């Protein structure tokens, strides 16, 4: 590949396919992209599983340069058709089954979407990319959005994950993501398809589905329900505000080097119990008419998640030094904004507490 990739990929306008764009990070990314690059053509492909929500994109639906397509990333005919008719040059691939607890209850969907779905997209993009002009080949990119969980679990004294940390996935979710990362890497090395992999730490912020720790705690406090903390609550996660993740992916799309991996993290390691206590304090301060206060009374230690990784931490020096990205939001600012968002978006989260969600909740927390 010629070494003028940087300049060529800076060229706009882009025709970008965003898979999983109705989910948590995907929809934040779609908003980021549409407001920063109004001349780009944006196609969202999303199957609208339980985690996908078209409401997350409502204010974009009338824009001429935006199109929503409901469909499955495993559907090769649909993907081929979209890549050709929309003349796609960039794929930002978010679509996945993303929740560890669901992967323990039922791993098959994770194999299907995360492995088979990613493989299907890569194959379709490979065929499509071969027909590009040389300039289009320079601009084209397959961004594979992945997770720090592929690196496994750290002990308290271990250094943070770097891009060369060996893979050691411990859950069906992280095993499926690791597999898809390997395919994305292999398509660059074998076929020259310009892929980049990003491995990011735990995100939080608007549009986060209520099964994950932070939204679940916020909503349970608002409903006066118990706050289930797994095990001893001493597991550590490295939290990143979702908008900062979107900014990092933007840098990678415009300035990242094909064939590379970039770790993305917030440099915000927090123990789960400390995080829940921070949320309780914020909720006590910001919410009126809580059913039970102070919220800390609601904390309830429950049976641990099987195979629960003890600690994640990201060394994000590569993306900082090579692409100039650093997080812009501290964990204190980000948590406050997030609590405020759940307080003012009851109309968004209330309908998500469906019968399916209640059944899932009973299974995990019984």
Annotated catalytic residue within 151, 173, 204, 207: 173
161 bridge partner residues: 314
Residue 103 touching ligand DAU (CB under 6 A): no
According to CB under 6 A, which one of 72, 89, 149, 250 is a site residue for ligand DAU? Answer: 149
Burial class (CB in 10 A: 0-12, 13-18, 19+), 112: middle
Contact 99, 212 (CB under 8 A): yes
Number of residues this chain uses to bind ligand NAD (CB under 6 A) = 31
3 is annotated as an active-site residue: no
- Print burial letters for 119-128: b (CB count within 10 Å at least 16), e (below 16): bbbbbbbbeb
The distance of closest approach from Cβ of residue 297 to ligand NAD in the complex, given in angstroms and rounded to an integer, is 28
DSSP state letter for 279: H
Give the integer Cα–Cα distance in Å for 144 and 185. Answer: 9
Among positions 172-211, residues that touch ligand DAU (CB under 6 A) are 201-202
SS3 content of the chain, % helix, strand, coil (to 5): 50, 15, 35
Binding track over 236-255 against ligand DAU, x by CB under 6 A? -x------------------
97 is annotated as an active-site residue: no
Annotated catalytic residue within 72, 89, 149, 181: 149
The distance of closest approach from Cβ of residue 316 to ligand DAU in the complex, given in angstroms and rounded to an integer, is 13
Residue 261 touching ligand NAD (CB under 6 A): no
The distance of closest approach from Cβ of residue 328 to ligand NAD in the complex, given in angstroms and rounded to an integer, is 18
Contact 44, 68 (CB under 8 A): yes
Binding track over 28-57 against ligand NAD, x by CB under 6 A? ------------------xxxx-xx-----
Give the integer Cα–Cα distance in Å for 97 and 163. Answer: 23
Which 3 state secondary structure label does DSSP give 357? helix
CA of 354: how far to CAs of 213, 221, 224, 237, 253, in Å? 18, 18, 18, 28, 37
Sign of the CA dihedral running 311, 219, 97, 266: negative
The distance of closest approach from Cβ of residue 360 to ligand DAU in the complex, given in angstroms and rounded to an integer, is 11
According to CB under 6 A, which one of 19, 118, 147, 338 is a site residue for ligand DAU? Answer: 147
Cβ proximity to ligand NAD: between 17 and 222 the closer is: 17
Contact 145, 93 (CB under 8 A): yes
Residue 89 touching ligand NAD (CB under 6 A): no
Contacts 24+ apart (CB under 8 A), 358-364: 360/102, 360/105, 360/211, 363/105, 364/101, 364/105
173 is annotated as an active-site residue: yes
Residue 74 touching ligand NAD (CB under 6 A): yes
Annotated catalytic residue within 46, 89, 148, 244: 148
Among positions 121-160, residues that touch ligand NAD (CB under 6 A) are 145-147
Residue 170 touching ligand DAU (CB under 6 A): no
Give the integer Cα–Cα distance in Å for 339 and 29. Answer: 20
According to CB under 6 A, which one of 45, 73, 95, 213 is a site residue for ligand DAU? Answer: 213
Cβ proximity to ligand DAU: between 33 and 312 the closer is: 312
236 bridge partner residues: 271, 311
- Identify what 60 binds: ligand DAU, ligand NAD, none; CB under 5 to 8 Å per kind: none
**Residues carrying an active site annotation:** 148-149, 173
Site residues (vs ligand DAU, CB under 6 A): 98-100, 147-149, 201-202, 212-213, 216, 228-230, 235, 237, 272, 305, 312
């Amino acid at each position: 590949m010629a070494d003028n990739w940087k300049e060529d990929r800076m060229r706009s306008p882009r025709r970008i396919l965003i898979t999983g764009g109705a989910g948590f990070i995907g929809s934040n990314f779609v908003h980021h992209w549409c407001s920063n690059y109004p001349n780009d053509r944006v196609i969202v492909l999303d199957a609208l599983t339980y985690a996908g929500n078209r409401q997350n994109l409502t204010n974009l639906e009338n824009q001429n340069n935006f199109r929503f397509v409901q469909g499955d990333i495993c559907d090769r005919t649909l993907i081929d058709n979209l890549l050709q008719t929309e003349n796609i040059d960039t794929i930002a691939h978010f679509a996945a089954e993303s929740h560890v607890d669901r992967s323990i209850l039922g791993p098959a969907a994770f194999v299907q979407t995360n492995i088979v779905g990613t493989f299907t997209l890569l194959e379709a993009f490979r065929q499509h990319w071969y027909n590009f002009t040389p300039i289009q080949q320079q601009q084209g990119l397959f961004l594979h959005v992945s997770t720090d969980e592929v690196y496994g679990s750290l002990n308290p004294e271990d250094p943070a994950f770097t891009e060369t940390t060996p893979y050691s996935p411990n859950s069906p979710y992280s095993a499926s993501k690791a597999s898809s990362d390997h395919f994305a890497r292999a398509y660059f090395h074998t076929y020259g398809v310009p892929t980049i992999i990003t491995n990011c730490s735990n995100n939080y912020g608007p549009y986060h589905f209520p099964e994950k720790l932070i939204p679940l705690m916020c909503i349970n406090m608002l409903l006066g329900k118990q706050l289930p903390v797994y095990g001893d609550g001493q597991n550590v996660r490295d939290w990143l505000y979702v908008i900062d993740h979107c900014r990092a992916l933007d840098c990678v799309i415009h300035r990242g080097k094909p064939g590379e991996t970039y770790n993305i993290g917030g440099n915000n390691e927090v123990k789960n119990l400390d995080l829940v206590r921070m949320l309780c304090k914020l909720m006590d301060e910001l919410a009126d008419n809580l059913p039970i206060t102070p919220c800390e009374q609601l904390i309830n230690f429950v049976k641990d998640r099987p195979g629960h990784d003890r600690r994640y931490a990201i060394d994000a020096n590569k993306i900082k030094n090579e692409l100039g990205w650093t997080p812009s939001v501290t964990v204190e600012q980000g948590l406050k904004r997030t609590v405020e968002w759940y307080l003012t978006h009851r109309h968004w989260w209330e309908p998500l507490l469906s019968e399916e969600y209640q059944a899932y909740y009973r299974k995990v927390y019984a």
